[in-house]
Amino acid sequence: MSLIHRPAVNAVLLGSAVCLLCLFGILSRTGGDLASYWPTNAFLLGILIRYPHFAHRWGWVAAALGYFAADALTGSSLTKNVLLNAANLSGVAVGYWIFHRADRSMNRLETTSSVLYMLMAIVGASAMSSLLGAVAMIYLFNDTAMKGFAIWFATELVNFIGFLPLLLSIPSRDQFPAHPMRWLGQQFKIEKIAPALALVLSAILGHMIGGPGAVAFTIPALMWCAVSYSLFTTAFITFWVSAWSLISIIVNMLTDVHGVLNRDLVMSVRMGLSLVMLTPIMIGSVMVANRELVKKLKVLADHDELTNLPNRRAFLATSTHQLERLKERSESCSVLMIDIDHFKSVNDRFGHAAGDDVLRRLGQLLGECLRRQDIVGRLGGEEFAVFLPRASAADAQQVAESIRISLEVTPITVPGQTQPLLCTVSIGMASDRRSSVALDTMLVRADQCLYKAKQQGRNRVVQVSISD
């Protein structure tokens, strides 16, 4: 499709979605009040922020037509149509302007500051919409300007907080699981579903007891969900709780026998519900930041800072786990012990910076020469180790020779020296056809072979096969 027609297609899609959501909201209207649930403004703002290609001028035009078409189809007068939807569009425009001025990282709710910024945008959008909405409230319900502003503001606030975080936290394509069905199967564990079950039970209990306080029954379960699930899942759950609370509690519990709402009580419930819905989103954003921090700390704890390879502890843990799996299937494995020849003389002659360059270069070569399933680590100093799962002695020999030759023919530039530095490695190798011995035993045998390689003149591979 050409670029000329793409904005038109986007505009049609956006306008249609806006119209459908408006119709849904209009159907939730009760006597004497606005719609019980109005997700359209939050939906439009979220789409324009997360997917900027919809924010074309024709997208705005189509969205406006969607608003006006929905009210026209349901029999609203022209005056009512203009008053209501001018307020709706003005709020979205202000929210978009606030978001548009911020860094794009603020659009993903991955930090607590981004949630606070979202709240600022929501308050700004709700306030702007309420300024015009107050006029509509005066005209439609004979409210005072202050009361009309307050009711409209509470309505906008709860709808924005309930729906906007869901759109802003949608994972990017690379964040979706590579194997969705396998991932889905892993979710059906008691520790995974317990928070959701608690939420359902608390919602049922709140519905049975009834009253305005029912909106608070789900708070503990929502907080449990926030610390247990991803931010998107938390926002998704919060969205449904918000929708259920607005429609079920307000329509079924806050109307009199004639179906007329107690509007003061509804405004109070909406404001309270806004704060309830904001709590899990704030906690969820904190959990996202904490998970990222833990991930970074784990990388620092498990990796050698100089070569960025796994350190001794991480190498031993990962290799031991892999070896246990190989033992169950009686599959082969091999271990390489690698040591840079005359490394001390490199440090003495050219300085420790040159030695660091050699270590970094060897780390890079190991990544290039090894198979995807192989595990490599720096054990300390100039000594490295490689665990090769499902590798016969011949396979391991080929990998070892590839490493040895690659470093031998790779010149390493040393600052202040006219000639590049050439280094070699000695490699000891131990292979086991059935993965029958412990990792420590294999490392000891490979280290013995490494010692023999040094004795025999260095720059060579010496191997041993471990019998069953």
pLDDT in tens, the chain (468 residues): 444 458 888 899 999 999 999 999 888 776 556 787 899 999 999 999 999 889 989 999 999 999 999 999 998 889 999 999 999 999 999 999 999 888 877 788 877 788 889 999 999 999 999 999 999 889 888 888 998 899 899 989 999 998 999 999 988 777 666 666 666 666 677 778 899 999 999 888 887 877 667 778 888 999 999 999 989 999 999 988 888 887 776 656 555 555 555 677 777 778 888 888 999 999 998 898 888 889 889 988 899 999 999 999 999 999 999 999 999 988 999 999 999 999 998 888 888 888 998 999 999 999 899 989 999 999 988 999 999 999 989 999 999 999 999 999 988 887 777 788 889 999 999 999 988 899 999 999 999 999 999 999 999 999 998 865
Residue ranges of domains in the chain, CATH in brackets: 6-300 (no CATH), 312-466 (3.30.70.270)
Q: Measured in Å, how far apart are the chain's first and last C-alpha atoms?
A: 64
**Which sign does the torsion angle of CA 204, 209, 210, 215 carry?**
negative
Q: Where are the alpha helices (DSSP H) in 28-144?
A: 40-50, 57-73, 78-100, 112-141
Residue 109, C-beta contacts closer than 8 angstroms, at least 6 positions apart: 115, 118, 165, 168, 169, 231, 235, 281, 284, 285, 288
Amino acid identity of 230? S
Catalytic residue of the set 382, 383, 401, 408: 382
- Cα separation, 417 vs 352, whole angstroms: 14
324 is catalytic: no
CB 222 within 8 A of CB 146: no
Residue 435 token pair: 């993965």
